[in-house]
Structure 1
Amino acid sequence: MALKCTTKAGLSDQDPGSSGADYLVRHCTLRQLQLLEAIVRLGSFTRAAEELFLTQPTVSMQIKKLAESIGTPLFHHVGRTVEPTDAGREVYAACRDILNGLANLETKLADLKGLRRGRLRLGVMTTATYVAPEILGAFCQRYTGIDVSLNVTNRDQLLERLCAQDDDLYVMGQHHDFGQEVEAVPFAPNPLVMIARSDHPLVGQPGIPMSRLADEDLLLREPGSGVRDAVLGHFARSGVEPRVRMQLGSSETIKHAILGGLGISALSLHSVRLESGGGRFAVLDVEGFPIRRRWHIVYSRSRELSLVARTFLDFAIASEPDIRAQLDEAMAALRRVSGLPAAVATSSAIPTGVIS
């Protein structure tokens, strides 16, 4: 719906330069500004359309109308991407102010209504999809009136969303030194375990030294992955040069590669929890594993958390005992497949509050 405002007497309704803010208020819509913000942030009309559940022709038409209202082009094509013109960047800056102002207003109105209604926007790293949706689902069952959105993306794009304050809270695995502007609250263990197919020759061997893994084909996540950095860091500290056979873009792809006999890999225990009792995967008893890591809920200190966001943060922290129990059960099942005795070196060995 277009915003409406009374036009000053004597000013032309056709000249955007002659009527100041009144003209833009009458001829631009909040939806158009939202579309422009998404296009600039995502660098693509198509991705903006997908994020906002619109067709690309609709997005193109609305941006064309916005450009006509402003009286100048807002984008130009650079290869397969689009970049804002000088005017587009100015409009984008104004969009951010307007949309952030509306988001803050929505937060205050929701707080006045309590937890009967409200919205939660959660940004999640790809690897956190093994833990975040379950917590979010349990939260929604308790607070049925909350409208939630879950934005899943890689670490670099999630950091961009954090800088732009596109979401209320963010779930990240690797702890970053954000300084004083960002708060990172650890809320659940995220141990990395060395996984192999159940018939791998190393399965069942106790106390495997890291030097032994130099002879194995290692499957790794893509560059920039926090899991990859943690695994390579552990190899480096052990003085071992890994033989990397493949770099793959997701934990699911790595699991399929393991089952295909292409190698072994260090994965989050969360990512193999559902398959732990199936007998296809086994955990290797390698020195220094599990690598102790934690999930964090991250948010910007410059933006006040809504009542809904604060409640979800507390809810996630309170879920830690249940998460630990699930991981302990998964680890025990993987060790049974491996023929190894039960051990305490599971998620329970990770002290609450450890950040890595």
Structure 2
Amino acid sequence: MRKSLMRITLRQLQVFRSVCQQRSYSRAAEDMALTQPAVSLQIRQLEELLGQPLFDYVGKKLYLTDAAEALQRASADIFGRLESLDMQLGDLQGSLQGQLSLAVESSAKYFTPHLFAAFRRHYPEVSLQLVVTNHTQALKRLSANRDDLLIMSQVPTDLNLEFLPFLNNPIVAVAPATHPLCSQGLLCLQDLTAWPLLVRERGSGSRQAGEEYCHQKRAHFAQTLELGSTESQLEGVLAGLGLALLPRHAVRRELACGALRELPVAELPLLRSWCLVHPRGKYLSPVAQAFFAFVRDQRSQINALAESFAEPAPERRPGS
């Protein structure tokens, strides 16, 4: 090993990780409660120890060099090991301690806090860092190894991933309570295409699932309106802009109070599974191992917890 690498300090790595995350020396300085010259000095010293530059500026944007990419992976492993050591020391004292770093696709964000609360009843000293993202961003986080675990649907088969399906994610068609379709009987997906469909941004897993399913069923919507979040879709439906295909968990309150109606479509709900995912061979911290084991072993408890999020719409007969 190069002797110079032994002189790298944890503080330098902390500053480096902040610059990587913020993509800015000034924002990293603010994040670390340092001055910008102090951040520049730490990075310059790191570059001298490595013998290679860490960042390039193109225009006004900061980009990581190959050396920075390698150092980022190494620093993630170093701090992960230190976090694991802290958890193991806590375990030796008789309690599991530490932080679970969890990323979830946006359709899972409604249920995940309830899932973590159930887990935390067993391990009250575990904290949570939760990041909500879309499907495309989730895949980038996986490749960068930024989280302990990820909750997503539609797990890619071409990546070397370990995944555990644990809960259905039913996608349903919703409309305002006053919509003409609400007074009709059992519908088919084609019946919905006369109205605009509100969709998420490109890169969303729920949008991809909905588009693929509609294409498979030959239900082609002449007009779609793109909104940037599930909440925007929900508000758009309430405002009368159109219909939407949404996770039932995301609209449970609006369905319960009658503001929205789940349309009785014969081809729906579209069922996808939420999966707990991590790269195959990834070292899992004791907290991540405990959470994975909890999700694997407590299926009945999780399903019971999810029932309040997934009450099916009553089936309507034609002419009823």
Give the deviation of 1:79 after TM superposition.
3.8
Distance 1:76 1:102, change over 3 A: closer
Q: How does 1:1-356 map to 2 (within 5 A)?
A: 21-22=3-4, 26=7, 29-40=9-20, 43-45=23-25, 53-54=31-32, 58=34, 60-69=36-45, 70-71=47-48, 74-84=54-64, 88-108=65-85, 110-111=87-88, 113-114=90-91, 115-179=95-159, 181-317=160-296, 318=298, 319-329=301-311, 331-332=312-313, 335=314, 340=316
| Distance in 2 separating the partners of 1:232 and 1:46 | 42
Mapped to 2, the partners of 1:47 and 1:227 lie a distance apart of 33
Q: Structure 1 residue 207: deviation in Å?
A: 2.0
Q: Structure 1 residues 89-98 or 297-306, which shifts more?
A: 89-98
The CA distance in 1 between the partners of 2:209 and 2:26, in whole Å, is 34
1:202/1:325 CA distance change after superposition, 3 Å: same
1:3 counterpart residue number: none
In 1, Cα distance between equivalents of 2:75 and 2:207:
39
5+ unaligned residues in a row in structure 1: which ranges?
A: 1-19, 342-356
Q: Kindly state the Cα deviation for residue 192 of structure 1 after the two structures are TM-superposed.
A: 0.2
1:206-225 Cα shifts (integer Å, max 9, x gaps):
22122222211111111121
**Compared CA separation, residues 277 and 75, structure 1 to 2 (3 A):** same
Deviations 1:4-44 (A, max 9, x none): xxxxxxxxxxxxxxxx745x655x54233233235446645
Secondary structure of residue in 1 paired with 2:271: coil
C-alpha RMSD of the superposition? 2.7
Structure 2 length normalisation: TM-score? Answer: 0.84
Q: Which moved further from structure 2: 155-164 or 285-294?
A: 155-164
1:291 counterpart letter in structure 2: L
Could you state the TM-score of these two structures normalised by the residue count of structure 1? 0.76
Post-superposition offset of 1:229? 1.3
Q: Distance in 2 between matches of 1:299 and 1:48?
A: 28
* AA aligned opposite 1:278: C
Shift of 1:116: 2.9
Distance 1:209 1:47 in 2: 52
Change beyond 3 A, Cα 1:45–1:176: farther
Displacement after TM superposition at 1:251 (Å): 0.6
How far apart, in 2, do the equivalents of 1:295 and 1:95 lie? 29
Instruction: Give the direction of change, closer, same or farther, for the CA distance of 1:305–1:67 in structure 2 (3 Å limit).
Output: closer
Count of residues in correspondence between the two structures = 306
| Contact 2:134 2:205 (C-alpha < 8 Å) held by counterparts | no
Structure 2 Cα separation of the partners of residues 148 and 105 of structure 1: 17
Distance of aligned partners of 1:162 and 1:257 in 2 relative to their CA distance in 1, 3 Å threshold: same
Give how far 1:282 is off. 0.3
Sequence identity (%): 32
Q: Is the contact between residue 38 and residue 48 of structure 1 (CA under 8 Å) also seen in structure 2?
A: yes
Structure 2 CA distance for partners of 1:178 and 1:282, relative to 1, 3 Å: same
Q: Following the alignment from structure 1 to structure 2, what is the Cα–Cα distance between the partners of residues 241 and 59?
A: 56
Question: What letter is aligned with 1:103?
Answer: G
Q: Is the 8 A contact 1:116 1:145 kept in 2?
A: yes
Q: Which has the higher contact order (CA 8 A, sep 6+)?
A: 2
Task: Give the letter aligned to residue 264 of structure 1.
Answer: L
CA contact (8 A) 1:67 1:73 kept: no
In structure 2, relative to structure 1, the CA distance for the partners of 1:238 and 1:45 (3 Å cut) is: farther
Q: Contact 2:172–2:269 at 8 Å: present in 1 too?
A: yes
Structure 1 residue 46: deviation in Å?
Answer: 7.1
Q: Residue 311 of structure 1 aligns to a residue in which SS?
A: helix
The alpha-carbon deviation at position 168 of structure 1 amounts to 1.1
Give the secondary-structure state (helix, strand or coil) at the position aligned to 1:223. coil
Q: Which amino acid aligns with 1:306?
A: S
Secondary structure, counterpart of 2:147 in structure 1? coil
* Mapped partners of 2:100, 2:153: distance in 1: 20
Query: Is the partner of 2:130 in helix, strand or coil?
Result: strand
In 1, the alpha carbon distance for the partners of 2:9 and 2:268 equals 55
